[in-house]
A and B are shown apart, each in its own frame.
Chain A
Amino acid sequence: METILTVQHLTKKFGFLTAVKDLSFTIEKGNVYGILGPNGSGKSTTLGIILNVVNRTSGSFCWFEGNTSTHEALKKVGAIIERPNFYPYMTAVQNLKLVCKIKEVPETKIEEKLELVGLLDRKDSKFRTYSLGMKQRLAIASALLNDPEILILDEPTNGLDPQGIHQIREIIKKIAAKGTTILLASHLLDEVEKVCSHVVILRKGEKLYSGPVDGMMASHGFFELRTTAMDKLRELLEKSASFGKITQENGTLTAYLKEEMQAEELNKMLYDKGLVLSHLVKRKESLEEQFLTLTKNN
């Protein structure tokens, strides 16, 4: 598989504070990556370093297997960091023309990309008249102008209203569906969960996990169960070797698996013991639950 970005032992210190500590990961073509971490965990600093705006203290990174200089590589990258930064006195089209000049791409794609983010009817308005949501969408259009190999988004929905968030997510999904590699930094977990196949989890500048979303925790999932005879159910499950922790909340029993077990298997077993379930769901922990477990314990 083609490697787009390799980061090795990256460290960044701001005075006494170590914002990023010995971070290594790689980005392969075609995947959608999420960088997760609480506020101040070094997400933006990491992106700043690979995007040539923050100087690293030590370590290295290379774009596209190191064949080009960083600023040449960035012409094949589309990136938005934190807030959309454009010239407030210029219109959307003028701003995008400038980006085309910088990226050395023809200006033919401007209309198409403005259409994609739904700004075509406001293309001749000055940037400073835009709402935050529109600014953010213009930033996405700008990042897509060169049909980038990889799209880097840092908190793209920060500060937006629900409609704005929804619009941005729809756009991201549309782009992801076209097979573009995406690197998405966020602390909003459901956002990452919905689009990402791989995650890098950071806490205080250190990497806690990097790899596929599914492999994040060696867990077999859990059952949510409901029946009329809850006490009997609980007793039965506690005796079984397959189950670990069992909790009961709002009339629903949650039983965590210690080994692999199918829902049919459990249903049959309980039915044989004379228990009829009114509710049976097998689930894996959500990204949020996994994330909290990971960031809390270490």
Chain B
Amino acid sequence: MVRLLQIEFIKLWNNRASKILITSYFILLTSIALIAAIKFDIGPVKFHLAEQGIFNFPYIWHFNTFVTAIFKLFLAIVIVSMMANEYSNKTIKQNLIDGLSKKEFIASKFLTVISFSLISTVFVFVVSMILGLIYSDYNELSIIFSDLEYVFAFFFKLVGFFSFCLFLGIFVKRSAFALGFLILWVILEQIIFGILGWKFTTWEIAQNIKNFLPLESMQNLIKEPFTRLSAVQNIGQQIGEDMSFDYQVYWYEFLIVIFWTALFIYLSYALLKKRDL
């Protein structure tokens, strides 16, 4: 396993573009701390974002995992191109000839995906912990370590998303087209939802079906945290809007994402096995 990771590391780290993207990604992950620096001080209006409760435990787990997940696009580019480049450089052929089995080839890519997700998760965990310890109003251990399911959800969300990118890289074989396909897929899920709700079922059933689609199910793992903020809740109450959404992470949502991850990795392997290079 270490060997497979080393192989992928040599390929990625010697590529300047990947190196820059990976480094920027982790810098951006850390930069979420900069939100703490957002301060408005316009005469009588004093606004310090960090003091609005976004860094309170356990809310911070929810907020940070949701916001940092946006940066995953950087790694998505790296992963799509690390797969597609193997085709365009024909190095996949040489790797197989040199004695890497097709299973090992997919395994080395998947292990890289897992490592990226794991490192990101640890990163987000540490950054949030530090931010929380500085700004949180509540510092009891039991509160700090509650709601940690968001951190796990973050990990599975990344693994699922990157596995999808991996599959697209193998399926399309060209990095630019694969990324295009990714965007197309995002729109496609919305269209499927729209058509189902409009013509075939009620909007509620359509939403339930949509929750099973790959990208939507990954999105669903961590729901938007903004309406949960007490400040926003207050405004909601004032204008009489019911803002009691369900923010929980449910076990079946994990299952759906794990199912898609397994399917994408299996399909990548099946495609590689079937194709003549």
Interface set of A (CB-CB < 8 Å, partner B) = 14, 48, 51-55, 69-75, 77, 79, 81, 83, 85-90, 94, 97-99, 101-104, 142
Contacts and interface: CB of A to CB of B under 8 A. Distances in A.
Contacts of B101: 52, 69-71
Interface string B79-120: 000000000011101111111111010000000000000000
B276 A101 contact: no
A123 to B, nearest CB: 14
B276 A71 contact: no
Contacts of B93: 53, 81, 85
Contact of A94 (B3, B14, B89): B14
B11 A71 contact: no
Given A85-B94, A101-B6, A53 B276 contact: yes
Most buried by A among B7, B10, B104: B10
A53 B97 contact: yes
Interface string B20-43: 000000000000000000000000
B52 interface: no
A57 to B, nearest CB: 11
A141 to B, nearest CB: 13
Interface string B58-94: 0000000000000000000000000000000111011
B72 to A, nearest CB: 24
Nearest to A89: B15
A101 B104 contact: no
Contact of B98 (A14, A72, A103): A103
A71 B100 contact: yes
B274 interface: yes
The 6 lowest CB-CB distance pairs between A and B, nearest first, are A75-B99, A71-B101, A74-B99, A85-B94, A85-B90, A53-B277
Interface in B223-277: 273-274, 276-277
Contacts of B273: 55
A72 B89 contact: no
B16 interface: yes
Contacts of A88: 89
A48 B96 CA distance: 10
A99 B98 contact: yes
Given A55-B276, A89-B14, A81 B91 contact: no
Given A55-B276, A97-B10, A103-B99, 14 more contacts: A14-B276, A53-B276, A74-B99, A81-B94, A83-B90, A86-B91, A87-B89, A89-B14, A89-B15, A89-B16, A98-B7, A98-B11, A102-B7, A102-B95
Nearest to B10: A98
A165 B274 CA distance: 36
B246 to A, nearest CB: 48
Interface string B169-196: 0000000000000000000000000000
A89 B85 CA distance: 11
Contacts of B94: 81, 85-86
Given A74-B98, A103-B99, A90 B14 contact: yes
